[in-house]
Amino acid sequence: MKKALIPIFLVLIIDQTLKFWIKTHLSLQEEISIIDKGFIIHFTENSGMAFGMEFAGRFGKLFLSIFRIIAISVIGWYIFTLIKKKAHSGLIICISLIFAGALGNLIDSAFYGMIFSESSFHVSRFLPAEGGYSSFLHGSVVDMLYFPIFQGHFPSWFPFWGTEEFIFFRPVFNIADSSITIGVILLILFQKKFLKEEPKTEVEAPII
């Protein structure tokens, strides 16, 4: 059980602590340069999926939140099944990272709208007397990690985006997104090792 609980709690604590600090210290679109033009804390919010991708309006947001709840429930059940079957530790940790990331973003969308005030033009207040900026399951996910390492323009001969500006890496994300990504990448890289069945030892029949 520790193999699952430790990564889950570590990710949730780091993710939610950083998000809480961002919400209570920065206003929307405010940023802090950590490494000049390489690593920036840039406060943004999205009502959609990971890495700032949007999903169709208010009903889309509700659908996405409900989908997250169902997905998290299924993943949680799968982790419990893996533990009972004594599956490979690496597999349990990878699925736990995915679970923790999904749960971290669900916490934002489920509760942040109820416990924080709006962040536009001023720093958000925690548990404002007038109530939060939204209702249950309609909160926005907090993103802040921005790595614009390379910036430039596509060459004129490049299809579709010729001469347009590009930034790598453009999406702004959070610890929960990173946890999901790392879990999926490790699962793909080491799936043969993680899913390899233990060799069955043959029991010799007793000689009569």
Residue count of the chain, please give it.
208
Q: From the DSSP assignment, how many helices (H) and strands (E) are in the chain?
A: 6, 5
DSSP string across 19-64: HHHHHHH--TT-EEEEETTTEEEEEEEESSSGGG---SHHHHHHHH
Give the catalytic positions in this structure.
143, 177
| 159 token code pair | 């299809």
DSSP string, 122-174: S---BS-TT--SS-TT-PPEEEEEE---EEEE--TTSTTTTT-EEEET---B-
Number of Cβ within 10 Å of residue 183's Cβ equals: 22
